[in-house]
Each structure stands twice: as C-alpha cells, then as structure tokens.
Structure 1
Amino acid sequence: MLQVQFIREHKEEVIKKLRVRDIDATSMIEEVISLDEERRSLQTELDATLAESNKLSKEIGVCFKNGEVEKANELKAKTGALKETSKTLNEKLNEKAEELTELLYKIPNVPHPSVPEGKSDEDNEEIFKEGDVPTLAEGALPHWELSKKYDIIDFDLGAKITGAGFPVYKGKGARLQRALIAYFLDKNTEAGYEEYQVPHMINEASGYGTGQLPDKEGQMYHVGMDDLYLIPTAEVPVTNFFRDEIIKESDFPICCTAYTPCFRREAGSYGAHVRGLNRLHQFDKVEIVRVEHPEKSYEALDGMVEHIKNILRELKLPYRILRLCGGDLTFTSALTYDFEVYSTAQERWLEISSVSNFETYQANRLKLRYKDENGKNVLAHTLNGSSLALPRVIAGILENYQTPKGIKIPEVLVSYTGFDMIS
C-alpha cells in the first residue's frame, strides 16, 4: 500500500497519477490525510497525558519520601484519572489507525510515468513483436480439438471429477506439461534464480502482504475451516518469505523461482475465447520473483523481460509485448508488461506472462525493509513475472506446431519430452 507520508507530501501528484488508472481518488486521498491528522492529534494528546502521568508518579515518590502523605494521595488520584484518560485515548488511537489502514488498502498503487492512460485492454500499447506466424495446412484445428484428436488432454474427465476448468493431462500431454515445467525451471536457475518448493495454501497475513486481500477474496478459493487460501500464483508464498524482514543491502538482488499449481475462481464467461486451456480454475505456472534495491528495480524489470523473450525465442513461438494501460493495470503494480503468444488456429493473441514492478507497494504491506549505508530502514522494491504460465504455452505449441502428420515438439523440448512428435 502507499505510505501515508508519501501521500501527504505528494497529494496532488498521487491524485493525478491515479487518474491514469481511470480513478478519481480525490475523496479517498483527502480522507487519508484527515484520518492521519486525527491520528496524529490523538497521539500527541496521548503522549502528553503519559508524560504528565509519569511526572506525577515521580512527584508521588518524592512526597512519600518527605512524609507528605496527603499530597501524595492527591497526586495518586490524579494519576488514576490520567491512566483512564490514557486508556481511552489509546483505544481511540488504535481505532483511528485501523480505520486509516483499511482505507489505504483500498487505494491502488501509483502508476509509473510510462504507463499510458486507458480504461481497458484495448488501450494497451504494443511495444515489441517477434517471430513468424506459421502458415497452417487447410483444416487446422484449435487446441481443444487437437487435444481430443490425439487424446492428450481430457476436459470432460476433469469436469466429471471436479468441474469445468480442471483438465486432465494424459500420456504425451502430461509428458509435455512436465517437460515445460522442467525446462522453465532450468532456464530460470541458469539465469541466477534460486529454486523453491512452496506451500500451495497461504494464511490471511500472506494474502494481505502481497495484495490479494482484502480486494480479491472472490478470486481465491477459501478453505473455511482452517481460514487458508489456495494460492493464485507462486508469487504470493515466495514474496511472503520476506514479510517482516530487514535484509542487508548487500543481499540484493534476491532472485527466486518456483513451480506451483495455481487456483483461481474467476468469474466464468462463455465462448471460444475461454474454451479449452484459454481460461482455467487450476493451472500450472513457473514464477520468478525479485527483491531489489529501489535504484535497480527498473533495470531488473528490463532484465526479466529479456529473460522471457529468450525463452520464447527458444520455443520459436510468435509473441508480442504490451505495456498495460492504467485501466488494465493490476491493483498492486506500478508497471506491467504482458507477453502474448499468437494462436494461429484461433487467430488471436493469448496472454502467457505478466512481468511487474510493484516498487514499494507490496514491501510496505509486508514491512520488507533493508538497512541503507546510514543504518536507516528503507522499503525494498518487489517484482514478479510468469516464466511461464503453462496452459496457453501448450495451446500455442499444439496449434502452431500442428502438421497433417501430428504435432511437432519444439526442438528445445525434445530432450525433456523424450519424443519429437505427438501423433
């Protein structure tokens, strides 16, 4: 979340930048400042009351020492009243601080200056495109038809077991899935990311730390009896490694990668754009997470973009990169680049990765700080990216690599799959 001091010192700038998200945050920002003024006033009054109580306590000791019992008892009565006042003030202060925090949770991150204005994904900017779109033979099929033809993904069986959006991978489909996970992890670790295996459920504090709570409860599966949430991405448990931590400046950069299944309730819509692997409630993803020095985070973001470019080049999939506009930017992000692979059979772009810099927004929630050269605690920057989400990568491979004889496996994956054709 945004820091109160930053809002106080940059009020008009914050309001102006949030308009890039198509949000008029004027009333919320004014309320933040007003609540903070009330909180400060209560804190000042409480501090003065406690100081007076401490002063009288010392005087009481002197009075008893000098035999002034009556005066000491009078002072004790005053300190008793001051303690009651302090208790009341402390309760009001806690209520006001909680009210302020709840309001701050509702204010999204301030967009980076490069984020374009816009209301929806139609206003996103294409900044890069690479790869040749293959010319498919007549009668080319979308991936859900190919999956059925070659018996590699069973959507009906998944629906029988659980429901729509929970596919079952079979035979060479399961092998391809496993190969991609291993390949992505190998590429990430070769690039300096340390691999982790993490829990697939998180507690409430972790959800608040990375921004999934309180605004995204409806998108996560909740295990009510234990008050835990199934993770929407490995970003959440991995970033929470550093909650309530003060790290050394020499520790930067901290680079992590993890494979997990991901669970998202997502409101269901209908049509070809959500058929097959296009939108799922459970899917596999390999994530990269970085904790960076504030002065290095945008250089790191560029490096993450280049890293994912190299993976897609090796897979030889046509792709493009979009800079998300304010209206399409996620709640916690300051700047996000989306990668999309072209689905030749569907004749449309499919999102396969988002790479984001959250600046201090998550770190402030997490209380993730480092000690600078002056010994001062400073908020770090956090970043994350999909490297990569598997369903639409598989959709792209099935559709773009299909031939009349079967589906070719990208050359870089053959050593992982153990076969070069699905037929």
Structure 2
Amino acid sequence: MVDIDIRNKNILPFLACGLISGLAVASPGCDAVGDLAKECGLVCPDTGIADGNASISGVVSIDSFFGAVIAVRDAAVSVSGTVRAELEGIAASLEIEGYAEMGLDELANEVAAGLEAKFSANLQGGISISYEAPKCEASIEASVQAAAECDVDVDPGSIEAQCMGSCEVSADVAAECAAEGNLTCTGKAPDFECEGSCEGTCKLDAAASCSGTCNGTCSGTCSSENADGSCAGSCDGMCEGTCQLEAGGECGGRCEGSCTYEPGGAECEANATAKCDVSAMAEVECQGKCEGSVEPPEVSAECQASVEAKAEASVECTPPSLSVTYQFAASLDADAQAEFRIWLEGFKARFSAMLAASAKLDGVNVALEGLIDAAGSVVPDAIEQIQAEGGLDLKVSIGLGCALDEVDAVGTALADASTSVTGSLSAVGMVGGSVTGG
C-alpha cells in the first residue's frame, strides 16, 4: 500500500480544538446528538473512496483530490481490463487451455510462448510488425472543468487550458498556421500525389518500392503468393500493382488512401482535416481534442495535482495501424497459409488495441505519480489554511475528520492502481517481445 504520512503536520490539535469549540456553539435548531446529526451534515458519509464517493469532507480542494484519485484509479482498472481481455482473446485463438484462471503474468508468458510457437510453425525467419505510436488526444474541456471544480477562487468563464501539441482549428487559424509552416493536412492528396505519408492504397503503375503489402508483381522475393503466382505480401524488391500501406508510408505512385502532408504555405485540400501545431501560439481555440498534452489552467497549489491527474485520466488513445512483414515456410500449403492470414487479422486487431491501452497507461502512470507525491500534504495543507482563515467551525471540523479517515483508502486506491498499471504494461511488453520492428 502507498504510505501517506501526515504525522509531521501539527494539525490534530486544530481538529480537536475546532470540534470542541464547535460542539459548544452548535447552530440553533441543530441538535448534534442522535439522528439529527446526520440531518445537519455532522457525520461522515456512509460511503467513501472505495465506493466511488469523493464528497467526503465538504472542503472543495480535498474532495476534488479524492475525485482525482477515483478517476485515475477507475482509468487504471478500465484500461488494464482491456489489456486482460485482449490477452485472453489471443490466448483463445492460440488454443491455450485454462487462460481464464491464470494470473496476468502467467497469461502474458503463455501468450508470448504461444505466439513464438505459432510463428515458428508457419513462418520462415519470424515476423516483423511495425507501427507508428498510438495517437493520444487530451480533453481540454476536462482540464478546464477539473480546475473549475477545485479552485473556488477562479472565475469559470476565464479558465483556459493550452494545447501543447496539434489540434483541429478554424479556417482563420489554419491560414495563419499555413503561413507559419505549422499546418498538417490529412485527406485526399493533391492530384493524388502524396508528399507525406500515405495510409491505405498506393497504386503503382510503374515498379516502385513498397513498405506495405504488395499486390501484383514483385521483382524480388514475395512473402506470400496467390495461386496464380502474383504477390500478396511483403516484397523485398520492386512492386508493380498496388501497395497496401496499413501503417502509412511513402507512396511512389498514386495515393488513393489518406495522405498526411504539409501544404508548404498553402491551405489544405477541400474536405481534408487541418491540424495545427498550436503549442507556441497564444489564445488559439482548438476545434476538438488536443493531440499531445494539455497544459492545465493556472490554479492554486492545492488543486494542481488534482487538475493534472484528471486531465491525464481523460486522455483517449487510438489503436495504430500495423504493417506486418513475414515469409511463409516453404512446406506450408495453401490452406494453412489462408488459415494463418485469417488468424493474423484477428491478432493484429487485438495487439493494436493493447498498444493503445499501453499508451493510455503511460499517462495514467504519470497521474499516479503526481497524486502519490501530493497525497501526504493535501489534507494537512487544507486544514492549516482553514485554521489560518478562521473557518474551522463544527461542520468543517467534522468534515476534515472524515477526510483524515479516508487517508488509508487513498493509499489503498493509489497502490492498487499502480500495481494494475505496472502489471499491464509488463504484459504488453511480453507480447510485444514476440514480434520485432515495433
């Protein structure tokens, strides 16, 4: 469990004095004895952090911190569950027995061993899977909302968060970005000639190199051939026909898929998505989520960890497209090759989902570290501030006592989440180690 030490804070006498003085001057009409105490809000809630309830103390900064702990814990559990589900799906496809009862480490090891056996039985020289890093988008709105919920001194209408990456922008901003060379377009390539990365079909009327799947004629060795001898796999020579670029890449012909390119001072083609690197631009409003990190709004010190953690917990990562290179074993017949291709499509989808989950967990891990660092001071600092401001009345004293009672629950939640994240990241790494080029 994560230990949260508050013993070095001289706060317990404050609570005791506040509680005693409060009892002596209890509000008229509010008997703090018996059932009326609950009606007057002078008891701790029946549920706490373990049950998903962050409204513990009635002190905004403390309860916002509890809310951040719950949000990050739930994100860790949810994404780790995704990793487990995808691992079990791969295990089922490999006909691994008893996978549902296995611990995560054992399951990951069994899957890794099963993959190596699968590749060894069907392929010559193993398999290589390459991909671009999953795209993760942060919610600017989530960061702003977290700041508004925590810092009562901030005007919600004046809160702004800065995208430290790229995002979709208005036409006016896109024109400014184009002039500064910060604009990226994704969509149909101008005249189908992609000067960036083409994802999808690249038509090759003349022989050219193909970093994806060559469908047609290969001047070198093709990893997989159709019954008529045409290539339907990776080509180590020149390809003529079509090149399927699932993970994106250079297209030496006609890009009939999606092209991501920089327009070089011009604007994007019609219907293309325009994204601008706005990290160095002031007062730019994104038309959607931020691809990259979000710099949270300026908030009070006691709210900083909560706001940053909630922002990380809201990040969404998209599974990347995968480019697979392999060579069938010479002894493998056509039916076995077809069965492997069908199996491979399912594996690619599950492995891609695991990569996206891993990217999300990296952010959750950062949030956990921030919360763990702040956990020992959030409640004590709030108590000292309230005491200094003379606001330690009966109801506040009881609320702060309730918050102190939840300190162990905070440690448990953060420890469980940290264990879950570490185990899931390790599991993804084990499976990734079964392939190369990632």
Fold conserved between structures, TM > 0.5: no
Higher relative contact order (CA 8 A, sep 6+): 2
